[in-house]
Structure 1
Amino acid sequence: MLEIAEKVHDETRQGEAFAPFKEEVNVYRKKFYIESYGCAMNFSDSEIIASILNKEGFGATRNFEDADLIFLNTCSIREKAEQTVRKRLTEFRKVKEARPGLLIGVLGCMAERLKSKLLEEEKLVDIVVGPDAYRSLPGLIEEAETGQKAVNVLLSRDETYADISPVRLDSNGITAFISIMRGCNNMCSFCVVPFTRGRERSRDAVSIVNEARDLFSRGFKEVTLLGQNVDSYYWVNETTNETITFARLMEMVALIDPSLRVRFSTSHPKDITGEVLHTMAKYENICNYIHLPVQSGSTRILQLMNRTYTREWYMAKVKQIKEIVPDCGISADIIAGFCTETEEDHRDTLSIMEYSQYDMSYMFFYSERPGTLAARRYTDDIPEDVKKRRLQEIVELQNRLSLESNKKDIGKTFKVLIEGNSKKNTTEWKGRSSQNKVIVFPKLNNDLKPGDYAWVKVNDCTQATLLGEII
């Protein structure tokens, strides 16, 4: 369950993805506007979509008022995410009433799950395309232009989009995502991903390394290797007969250049290996940060979730991480109020948070998703007020843990990759440490710029941010 956010308990990550380049009105015959919701994989997919559309003569625009095509790349992880998209579609439908030639499309996981409902019952969209069918977009657009409803939600066993060079949308020119695999074989009972993104398949390592090398040559200094479960990455080079595991792939990317940072997301506790951890420890440019979703601290609940590990297994994995990579930052996903959860189960979750000392977490109360194993097998029997109360207790604990974690960094010095101006003050830089912590520090009269590294001493902190100075 890949997620990106700065707020620790937002229920849905959402944002608009746009082209970083100057709009060239005369170059493209038509323009498209795209909004991306949910996980990092969706944002990465939007960049693939942009590349496909560019080759067909469509250019990106930041303003939906100027667009001939409006796309929403959607998320089905939680009900609130779908509600947000439905509201947005209703708003765009009103725009279409004033501009009959405008086409509206839904892409991604929500398209896969609600194809007929969106097209026929609610009549909110003209085009519906699933995560494995983006290559068919040009033909579907032509079909929709004739007044027909266009749909392709077929899942694939081999599509990885390895040959498509993504258009970096709304990029800072410093950090970028690289998709290394698609789909998921972990049938967690609460999750829709196996049904909306299909079975797991790994992209060939040669194309991944080439994409990372190209990004570095264009000035990017950090890449994040993306997958629903990166630790199960597996590819065999038929030319050399070499088996590429995730640890080996990570090493190949790290060896491009010592100044290219490497991150990854997401890891599954059952699959992350000692080989991965030792590779992290070996290379300074592989960031010391792991997102390790726990979901629950109760072994009984973990079994109902089909997470295939126990409380003790997870705690042993955290211990191993801290032994091999002592300064590693760790974050998690946590679900409150899963089916049959008792107060004792909830206390187990709080205690495993204390044990793991998470730097931050993505926290939610359980939202039943139609079609999942949990929806078919279990009753969603925890009252909403109990879910919200337990979630609040989890949030309050994480807030304390985050602040304590940041306070421990006061007086320490970190190598920070400058990403750009601080959101609140243009006289300050914002960057991240290897542990994925945001550090803000004053600009000095020097030649530093985004993409440069700076050594920063931490003098103070808030719950979410480290405050420092260049040394």
Structure 2
Amino acid sequence: MSAEKVIEEKKQGQALLTEQKEGNHKKLFIESYGCQMNLNDSEIVAAILSDQGYNTTHLLEEADLVLVNTCSIREKAEQTVRKRLEKYNAVKKINPTMKVGVLGCMAERLKAKFLEEEKIVDLVVGPDAYRDLPNLLEEVNAGRDAVNVILSKEETYGDVSPVRLNSNGVSAFVSITRGCDNMCTFCVVPFTRGRERSRDPKSIVEEIKQLVDNNYKEITLLGQNVDSYLWYGGGLKKDFKNASEIAQATAMDFSQLLDLVATEFPKTRFRFSTSNPQDMSLDVIKTMANHQNICKYIHLPVQSGSTNVLKRMNRQHTREEYIELIDNIKTLLPDCAISQDMITGFCGETEEEHQETLSLMEYVKYDFGFMFAYSERPGTPAEKKMEDDVPEEVKKRRLNDIIQLQQQHSLYNTQKFVGKTVEVLIEGSSKKSDAHWKGRNSQNAVVVFPKGDEQIGDFVNIYVEDCTSATLLGKRV
């Protein structure tokens, strides 16, 4: 579930809008579901199609091409996409030339269903095949179904400048790895997004430079698993051991990449997500400590506090190793916020194992978390080999225990800021009040304060006067 943690409910299914390119006459309607990687992929698709004469629209009725970028982590996402496809097809009756396509992680698994059995889409395109869109669209226009769900060893879209969709113009995401090699038994990502590969650091620096030149103030480096970033000239992470001695000796790992971009762009704030406990090195923590402009926030999914459950999940870390990592973070980065992903009710979870999760949470006191009851995903090792045997009501109760405890810890952590001054990057108006700005501090806490003469994208110092478990309230110093 690592990639899923940045699922922002408010962004689910938004029709994405970009600047209109003169001379483009065709209209593209594109919606994304799932993780931040998917939103970022939609930006890559918009860039590829922009060269094919498409501008984005948020009016479904006028679209020539409708694409939905799918996620197969949670069942809910899948049902939502089905409902959307029904809606598109209703519109298609009015606008018969409109073409409908499914992109992303659900593409592989449902291609036969969507295309042949239900005939609800014209094209199906997997996460590594977006460059093939122009050819696929030609096939569709010639009246044929078009499918490309082949997963690639090389594709990182390193040379495609993503068109920023619906962006606040302040913070942007830059993908640095694709795919995942961790075969966690509950997760579909390795099967839908393929094996792990990293992107050329030169192309990463160039993309960041473009963003900085366009006044973006904060960049999040993105990957299913950013800590295992490894550039040795291209190719899959797992083939590194076969690379030449010189390639191995001059390879760049995540801590070096982080150091490179933070040094190169000292006025830009950097974040990264998602981290994997087994791959997070002390070097990364030390790099964070060395740079003022790397935010003091780590999203560190644990999934369970029980070593036995972690083993069944095929997580490559134990409870003890995770605690050691937490201790190192707290020693080297005492003001660092830490958030979690937690799955409760995984196959065979006992009451005792659940209590171990709660006691781990007590130990870490996470700033916030993304908590889910286990739901079996088709095609995963757990679905094939394990019984989903924790009753639904037990899952619900355990999830509730975890959420309640997390809320206490969130409040405990936000209260620590009261009476202190924090640096905030203004992202926009507060959801609840147009008279207030909202932004985030280094620890990723949301800060709300009355508007003065500031502008979106300004860094300001805010004295924190009060808080809720989710938000700091203050005034400008």
Structure 1 position 29, deviation (Å): 2.1
Aligned AA (2:63): A
Aligned AA (1:353): M
Say whether residues 1:195 and 2:191 are aligned partners.
yes
Say whether residues 1:417 and 2:425 are aligned partners.
yes
* Paired residues of 1:287 and 1:434 also in contact (CA < 8 A): yes
Say whether residues 1:449 and 2:455 are aligned partners.
yes
Q: Could you say which residue in structure 2 is the equivalent of 1:249?
A: 257
Q: Could you say which residue in structure 2 is the equivalent of 1:107?
A: 103
Q: Secondary structure at the match of 2:360?
A: helix
In structure 1, distance between residues paired with 2:97 and 2:75: 31
Q: Could you say which residue in structure 2 is the equivalent of 1:355?
A: 363
Say whether residues 1:60 and 2:66 are aligned partners.
no
Say whether residues 1:81 and 2:77 are aligned partners.
yes
* Paired residues of 1:456 and 1:470 also in contact (CA < 8 A): yes
Structure 1 position 209, deviation (Å): 0.7
Identify which of 27, 33, 38 aligns with 2:34: 38
Q: Secondary structure at the match of 2:399?
A: helix
- 1:248-287 aligned at under 5 Å gives the runs 248-287=256-295
* Paired residues of 1:237 and 1:244 also in contact (CA < 8 A): no
Q: Could you say which residue in structure 2 is the equivalent of 1:400?
A: 408
Q: Could you say which residue in structure 2 is the equivalent of 1:2?
A: 3
CA gap 1:174/1:161 in 2 versus in 1, 3 angstroms: same
Q: Secondary structure at the match of 2:256?
A: helix
* Paired residues of 1:5 and 1:13 also in contact (CA < 8 A): no
Structure 1 position 27, deviation (Å): 2.3
Say whether residues 1:19 and 2:10 are aligned partners.
no
Q: Could you say which residue in structure 2 is the equivalent of 1:296?
A: 304
Q: Secondary structure at the match of 2:232?
A: strand
Q: Which stretch has the larger CA shift, 143-152 or 170-179? A: 143-152
Structure 1 position 6, deviation (Å): 8.3
Aligned AA (1:109): C
Structure 1 position 151, deviation (Å): 0.6
Q: Could you say which residue in structure 2 is the equivalent of 1:466?
A: 472
- 1:280-359 aligned at under 5 Å gives the runs 280-359=288-367
Q: How many residues align?
A: 464
In structure 2, distance between residues paired with 1:93 and 1:403: 46
Say whether residues 1:96 and 2:96 are aligned partners.
no
Post-superposition Cα deviations, 1:92-133, rounded to whole Å, max 9, x if no partner, equal: 111112211111111000112211111112222111000000
CA gap 1:164/1:111 in 2 versus in 1, 3 angstroms: same
Structure 1 position 206, deviation (Å): 0.5
Aligned AA (1:16): Q
Q: Which stretch has the larger CA shift, 329-338 or 92-101? A: 92-101
* Paired residues of 2:18 and 2:55 also in contact (CA < 8 A): no
* Paired residues of 2:436 and 2:451 also in contact (CA < 8 A): yes
In structure 1, distance between residues paired with 2:232 and 2:196: 15
* Paired residues of 2:296 and 2:336 also in contact (CA < 8 A): yes
Q: Could you say which residue in structure 2 is the equivalent of 1:154?
A: 150
Aligned AA (2:362): E
- 1:129-144 aligned at under 5 Å gives the runs 129-144=125-140
Q: Which stretch has the larger CA shift, 30-39 or 113-122? A: 113-122
Q: Give the structure-2-normalised TM-score.
A: 0.94
Identify which of 120, 127, 138 aligns with 1:124: 120
CA gap 1:325/1:231 in 2 versus in 1, 3 angstroms: same
Aligned AA (1:43): L
- % identity of equivalent residues: 57
Post-superposition Cα deviations, 1:234-262, rounded to whole Å, max 9, x if no partner, equal: 11359997321101111111122322001
Q: Secondary structure at the match of 2:371?
A: strand
Q: Secondary structure at the match of 2:448?
A: strand
Aligned AA (1:295): Q
Structure 1 position 40, deviation (Å): 0.7
Q: Which stretch has the larger CA shift, 141-150 or 76-85? A: 141-150
Post-superposition Cα deviations, 1:53-94, rounded to whole Å, max 9, x if no partner, equal: 001111111221221111110100011111111111111111
Post-superposition Cα deviations, 1:199-236, rounded to whole Å, max 9, x if no partner, equal: 00000000001111111011001000001111111113
Q: Could you say which residue in structure 1 is the equivalent of 2:448?
A: 440
In structure 2, distance between residues paired with 1:103 and 1:4: 31
In structure 2, distance between residues paired with 1:59 and 1:6: 26
* Paired residues of 1:17 and 1:46 also in contact (CA < 8 A): no
**Contiguous gaps of at least 5 residues in structure 2:** 235-245
RMSD of the TM alignment (CA)? 1.6
Structure 1 position 146, deviation (Å): 2.4
In structure 2, distance between residues paired with 1:131 and 1:5: 18
Q: Secondary structure at the match of 1:344?
A: helix
In structure 1, distance between residues paired with 2:364 and 2:52: 49
Structure 1 position 13, deviation (Å): 6.8
* Paired residues of 1:13 and 1:38 also in contact (CA < 8 A): no
* Paired residues of 1:17 and 1:169 also in contact (CA < 8 A): no
* Paired residues of 1:184 and 1:229 also in contact (CA < 8 A): yes
Structure 1 position 147, deviation (Å): 2.2
* Paired residues of 1:441 and 1:468 also in contact (CA < 8 A): yes
In structure 2, distance between residues paired with 1:341 and 1:434: 36
Identify which of 72, 82, 100 aligns with 2:68: 72
Aligned AA (1:274): L
In structure 1, distance between residues paired with 2:445 and 2:81: 30
Aligned AA (2:278): K
CA gap 1:302/1:6 in 2 versus in 1, 3 angstroms: closer
Aligned AA (1:349): T
Aligned AA (2:430): S
Aligned AA (1:360): F
* Paired residues of 1:203 and 1:235 also in contact (CA < 8 A): yes
Q: Secondary structure at the match of 1:2?
A: helix
* Paired residues of 2:344 and 2:372 also in contact (CA < 8 A): yes
In structure 2, distance between residues paired with 1:185 and 1:115: 24
